[in-house]
Structure 1
């Protein structure tokens, strides 16, 4: 039996966290219709994925619209608030990581190349989407390949591409969260490109915090999808925080971005936000 690598992020959240904020789903016949309609539209929309890979003017607008429609098919509504989304090239986007749903939430605001766990490439449906979107795979159990991933991100940033990463290194339930690891931020430092922090939070229809979208522990993708499409409605709030200059210290950059994402106003005031 091999010991766990102490450097690999491990969340303390598990499947029990998912039920912590569970809300009533409604009458059986209503739930059945809800699931049937959402599942049908999601499958139809998934069949249109190849259109996202076609180079065309305004493709980023198409990707944003696609992600919003997919969220709606899953029973998720999105609200965006905070600072303006700056039209810059070569930006590293970072956020806390709760679920595979994060990809659609961020994609509906700032579409880009995602850094995601390598096993996602083999997921049915979503894996095909990941390959078309040219996801940058990362094997979190093989840290020797991490420098190659960081180098790939830096190359993409220098080429003017938007790259989205989740510095916690694993998913948390949304009520608890992990520390931002500095490794991914080295790519922004090396490329000399800014970082855009986003604060994501999931809520029930009544506004209460929700863990229904969380994908943690031994949870499975089918079970996660079933929870979402069964729930009455889930709302994901995306808060756009101040753009951060890379500086020369990845740890300082990671700390500034984590403070922004966690809503630490005092810490944010001490950071070096990029003001237009």
Structure 2
């Protein structure tokens, strides 16, 4: 177990957060049928995930389509609003972090390689997929390794690749959120490439805020997955905010992006258009 450090990001989310945004109840028979259907669809799609790493023409379109299908299989519908998605090369995509579901949600809109915690690369099965997808691992407990991660991100941005990072450094429940730490923004400044902030929120069908997809604290991947497939439909909303030029100050760039992704009213569903699968 890695040692704790004072600078290590920590969320204040607890089980109370999960209860606050829990899904409405349903009959046992309905839940059972829902789980069987979703689990079957997800298992059909899962073996195709490594194929997304194969350098094929139009791979980004395949990645978007796959992520949308996987979200549907898990009971998640996605809507998008805000500015246009610019077809630029070498963009640092940043967003608040709620769950492992964020990977599929962002992948359905702006696919790229992700900066993810190093433990993910060591997970059985998922670790193999993470390596195939060229995930950039980050050791959250090792500050001295951070410059190497930033340098890798900058190198990929210069090469014209899209890189996705979660500057909060940890997951939050979706009702609360953390500060954007500036370190990863140095990569955009070094590569002289823009940052694209995305505002991610999750909602129930009635528009109220949902913590069903959350992956927080001592939560396990299995527990988080079970909450999602058992619940009624979850709506993931992505708002595309204004592209941010890098400038010369990573703290100022982090502040601009953080301001862009914060909802004006927490718990109110934004209006957007649904993505077709």
So what's the TM-score if we normalise by structure 2?
A: 0.92
Extract unaligned runs of 5+ from structure 1.
265-276
- Distance, in Å, in 1 between the alignment partners of 2:97 and 2:181 is 12
Instruction: Spell out the pairing of 1:131-150 with structure 2 (5 A cutoff).
Output: 131-150=131-150
Following the alignment from structure 1 to structure 2, what is the Cα–Cα distance between the partners of residues 74 and 134? Answer: 24
Map of 1:207 onto structure 2: 207
- Residues 135-187 of structure 1: per-residue CA shift (max 9 Å, x gap): 00001001110000000000000000000000000000111100000000000
Write out aligned runs for 1:226-237 (5 A). Answer: 226-237=226-237
Paired residues of 1:154 and 1:190 also in contact (CA < 8 A): yes
State the match for 1:165 in structure 2: 165
Q: What residue number does 1:114 align with?
A: 114
Secondary structure in 2 matching 1:111: coil
Query: Is contact 1:80–1:237 with CA below 8 Å preserved after alignment?
Result: yes
2: distance between equivalents of 1:161 and 1:24? 41
- Equivalent residue number for residue 94 of structure 2: 94
Correspondence list, 1:70-89, <5 A: 70-89=70-89
Alignment of 1:50-69 (within 5 A): 50-69=50-69
Q: What residue is the counterpart of 1:38 in the other structure?
A: 38
Q: Which runs of 5+ in 2 are unaligned?
A: 265-277
Give the conservation status (yes or no) of the 8 Å contact 1:199–1:238: yes
SS in 1 for 2:41: helix
Shift of 1:214: 0.7
- Given that 2:4 and 2:141 are in contact with CA atoms closer than 8 Å, whether structure 1 keeps it comes out as no
Change in Cα spacing, 1:195 to 1:220, as seen in structure 2 (3 Å) is: same
Whether contact under 8 Å (1:195, 1:245) holds in the other structure is: yes
Secondary structure of the residue aligned to 2:202 is strand
SS in 2 for 1:198: strand
The residue that corresponds to 2:255 in the other structure is 255
Q: Counterparts of 1:261-276 in structure 2 under 5 Å?
A: 261-263=261-263
1:46-101 per-residue CA deviation (whole Å, 9 max, x = no partner) reads: 01112212211100000000001111111111001100000000000000000000
2: distance between equivalents of 1:146 and 1:74? 34
Query: Which portions of structure 1, spanning 4 or more consecutive aligned residues, are displaced by more than 6 angstroms?
Result: none
**Count of residue pairs brought into register by the alignment:** 265
Structure 2 residue 221 is matched with structure 1 residue 221: yes
Distance (Å, rounded) in 2 between the aligned partners of 1:152 and 1:3? 25
Q: Secondary structure at the match of 1:164?
A: strand
With structure 1 as the length reference, what TM-score do the two structures score?
0.93
**Within 2, Cα distance between the matches of 1:246 and 1:176?**
27
